[in-house]
């Protein structure tokens, strides 16, 4: 009798429990399914999480960044410095408001934006810095805000992946300037689709409210006006009630992900991944920075593998999939996409980002995984890379 193949292991699996599904049912039965009391409760809970700062929710984590740029009054003729190793929305929203994204290279150890490169790229047109916390890992927040203060720049933190990450013990979002989070389906907590923006003042929050719903200002039962156009970015109560339930599990989710990350480091050592030239995430000093382990990413030694830089990662991912293990790519370097090449970006301009973007692979990581799953992933990756070695 042949042994059955192991169950396919995706790189992420959202977990929505029966109690949450029941709460969604109650919202659907209530007759109020768009933005309403559940959205307001979700915003209040998020505000409490972030130390009482004003928080507004949105339909997705791209809208949050667009609204942040508009709150900062960034538009045509302005420049925003950001990283190319990100979901393309980070750069796209800068273009949406008429500004220009300026990519700088990354630190190859953290895979986050290189703050030396940020400071070197500042010009009289620079209005903001938009760092991205890849896999939930913050940049050096002290230095980031020192640079911003010195040059009188706004900071729009793309913290889409960083819910419950911390810097010097403080939760990301509990301090800083404008901080954007995503609750999309693969995030540590999800509302299926959604996001939130943490702001500084009630005035910013009021403007965000208006901009997320066409800019409409209501007075009384029948008064309506628009002083500046907005979009249609509101979060529904259906999404909000899912987010509320997930938020209540945040501590447990973060703790479980940290346990799995520790298991990954142990299993990676047992499988000899480093000896094969596979780069692991940077070990952290918990007194300085802690990540929520949104993803566990490795960088493949594409120069040592069959197919080289153009094909090696695909061959590894295909082989892993054949063995029942899902993987992802987060992210190829944005500046090499066709549209951004049309704006003047070229290969060779950002060498660290280009190398990481060619070789980075996201391995499975979600709370329901077991240690045996992690062992299987590391062993399979090791075997695959040995087989595909030149």
What are 224's two structure tokens?
A: 């309506």
Half-sphere exposure (Cβ direction) of 144: Cα atoms closer than 13 Å: 23
CA atoms of 33 and 26, how far apart (whole Å): 10
Using CA atoms of 238, 243, 249, 254 in order, give the dihedral in degrees to the nearest 10.
150
Burial of 185 from C-beta contacts in 10 A (0-12 / 13-18 / 19+) = middle
Cross-sheet strand order for the sheet of 170-171: 170-171, 166-167, 289-290
Catalytic residue among 26, 152, 187, 390: 187
How far, rounded to the nearest angstrom, does the alpha carbon of residue 387 sit from its chain's CA centroid? 33
CB of 165 closer than 8 Å to CB of 290? yes
What are 28's two structure tokens?
A: 């659907």
Asked if 249 is an active-site residue, the reply is: no
Place of tokens 């039962």: 221
CB of 145 closer than 8 Å to CB of 200? no
State whether residue 204 is helix, strand or coil: helix
CB of 158 closer than 8 Å to CB of 83? no
Helix-then-strand count for the chain, H and E: 13, 14
Place of tokens 């000899």: 272
Q: Are strands 126-130 and 79-82 parallel, antiparallel or unpaired?
A: parallel
- If you write DSSP's letter for every residue of 55-69 in order, what string do you get? EEEESSHHHHHHHHH
Place of tokens 């409210």: 209
Using CA atoms of 10, 14, 18, 20 in order, give the dihedral in degrees to the nearest 10.
-170
Which residues participate in catalysis according to the annotation? 187
């Amino acid at each position: 009798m042949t042994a059955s193949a192991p169950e396919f292991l995706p790189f992420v699996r959202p977990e929505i429990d029966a109690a949450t599904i029941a709460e969604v049912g109650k919202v659907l039965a209530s007759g109020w399914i768009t933005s309403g009391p559940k959205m307001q409760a979700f915003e209040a809970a998020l505000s409490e999480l972030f130390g009482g700062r004003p928080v507004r929710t949105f339909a997705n984590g791209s809208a949050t960044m667009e609204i942040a740029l508009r709150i900062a009054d960034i538009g045509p003729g302005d420049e925003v410095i950001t990283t190319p190793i990100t979901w393309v929305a980070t750069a796209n929203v800068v273009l949406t408001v008429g500004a220009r994204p300026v990519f700088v290279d990354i630190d190859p150890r953290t895979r986050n934006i290189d703050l030396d490169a940020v400071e070197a790229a500042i010009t009289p047109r620079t209005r903001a810095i938009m760092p991205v916390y890849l896999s939930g890992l913050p940049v050096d927040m002290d230095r980031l805000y020192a640079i911003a203060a010195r040059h009188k720049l706004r900071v729009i933190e793309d913290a889409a992946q960083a819910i419950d990450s911390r810097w010097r013990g403080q939760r990301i979002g509990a301090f800083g300037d404008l901080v954007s989070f995503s609750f999309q389906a693969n995030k540590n907590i999800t509302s299926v689709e959604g996001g939130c923006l943490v702001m500084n003042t009630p005035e910013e929050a009021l403007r965000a409210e208006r901009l997320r719903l066409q800019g409409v200002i209501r007075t009384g039962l029948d008064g309506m006006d628009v002083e500046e156009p907005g979009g249609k970015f509101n979060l529904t109560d259906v999404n909000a009630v899912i987010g509320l339930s997930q938020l209540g599990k945040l501590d447990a989710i973060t703790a479980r992900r940290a346990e799995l990350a520790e298991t990954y480091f142990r299993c990676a050592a047992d499988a000899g991944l480093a000896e094969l030239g596979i780069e692991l995430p940077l070990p952290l000093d918990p007194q300085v920075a802690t990540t929520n382990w949104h993803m566990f990413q490795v960088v493949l030694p594409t120069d040592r593998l069959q197919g080289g830089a153009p094909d090696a990662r695909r061959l590894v991912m295909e082989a892993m999939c054949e063995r029942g293990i899902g993987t992802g790519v987060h992210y190829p370097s944005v500046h090499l996409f066709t549209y951004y090449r049309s704006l003047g970006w070229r290969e060779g301009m950002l060498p660290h980002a280009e190398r990481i973007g060619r070789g980075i692979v996201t391995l499975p990581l979600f709370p329901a995984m077991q240690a045996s799953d992690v062992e299987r992933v590391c062993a399979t990756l090791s075997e695959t890379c040995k087989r595909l070695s030149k």
